[in-house]
Amino acid sequence: MLELLKLLQDGRFHSGEALGAQLGISRSAVWKQLQGLEAEFGVEVFKVPGRGYRLASPMVLLDVERISRSAPGLHWPILVRSSVDSTNAEIFRRLDAGTPAPFVLMAERQTAGRGRRGRVWASPFAENLYCSLVLRVDGGMSQVEALSLTVGLAVARALQACGVEGARLKWPNDVLVDGRKISGILLELAGDPADVCHVVIGIGINVNMAFDVPGVIDQPWTSVRQCLGRAIDRNDLAAELLLQLHDCLSVHWQHGFAGLREQWEALHAWRGRSVALTAGSNATLGVVLGVDERGAIRLNVDGVDRAFSGGELSLRLQQ
């Protein structure tokens, strides 16, 4: 079905006969695949007697060759799949099957996309960017300290390079524009955290999504399309994201988050804001001072500068 979709992505009319000839299948097989596109992926196809078939609107699919050409010098193999449960989960399966790290996996959609703390990540077909990068880490957990902040900086830079100038960072792993979430990051580990392990960096970016996904999104959100007033080519953003990841991770491996802290702080969305930091049922109220060299959030709590870090912490603005 994906090959058929590639033929239709220009948004023009194509006859069933021509599509069948290009794919080497019958017209009835083309019809069945069109029905599959609508049923499985939610792709709307117009059918006009005498003219053929076309998509309701043009669509640009992810293209490994285009992404690779736009990100020269990278040595991360790139895989693109039409549909997975989650890109992180697919990475783990491939690691178990013996695929060597590093490599990148992107998908046109996720059927069970995940965010931090088990939240669902809305993943409609061919609208956003769902990307995971897996890296081998030698030397234990200290190597991944504050890594989510480093990745967030790379995402914000990529968004800015594509025209979203208002991209800002929320500790520990979100990217916001005008207080609305445009991207989230999910890091997961596999292997021995005291020795050799793999870190899977999952990134979701709202790119061309224009409408809410009922029952899925439970917080204010935005997309690149909403910010710019137009859709963009996700291949360009994917290439820019990989380049920024490579640059930021190179600094992180050499100097730790300390080498990127000032750049992260320059994009800090909530510095000076009153917040509630929650861990389970406990909440600490304070004013955001910044982050330290290890990536911990610094709060002024009753006149005392305190630092907090941990995977289960959540930060919320106080009204």
What does the CA dihedral 279, 281, 284, 288 come to, rounded to 10 degrees?
A: 50
Q: Which residue has the tokens 């989650």?
A: 86
Check whether 110 is labelled as a binding-site residue.
yes
Check whether 259 is labelled as a binding-site residue.
no
Check whether 274 is labelled as a binding-site residue.
no
Element holding 29 (H helix, E strand): helix 27-36
Check whether 35 is labelled as a binding-site residue.
no
Query: Of these residues, 116, 168, 261, 298, which one is catalytic?
Result: 116
Residue 304 DSSP SS3: strand
- For the chain, how are helix, strand and coil distributed in percent, rounded to 5? 35, 30, 40
Query: Of these residues, 109, 168, 170, 181, which one is catalytic?
Result: 181
Residue 174 DSSP SS3: strand
Told to judge if 6 belongs to the known catalytic residues of this protein, a careful annotator would answer no
Pair type for strands 103-107 and 78-81: parallel
Check whether 117 is labelled as a binding-site residue.
no
CB-facing half-sphere around the CA of 314: CA atoms within 13 A = 13
Told to judge if 54 belongs to the known catalytic residues of this protein, a careful annotator would answer no
Check whether 114 is labelled as a binding-site residue.
yes
Sequence-ordered list of residues with C-beta below 8 angstroms from that of 48, at least 6 positions apart, any chain: 13, 54
Sequence-ordered list of residues with C-beta below 8 angstroms from that of 180, at least 6 positions apart, any chain: 220, 221, 222
Told to judge if 66 belongs to the known catalytic residues of this protein, a careful annotator would answer no
Binding residues for biotin: 86-88, 110, 114-116, 181
What are the residue numbers of the active site?
116, 181, 316
Binding residues: 86-88, 110, 114-116, 181
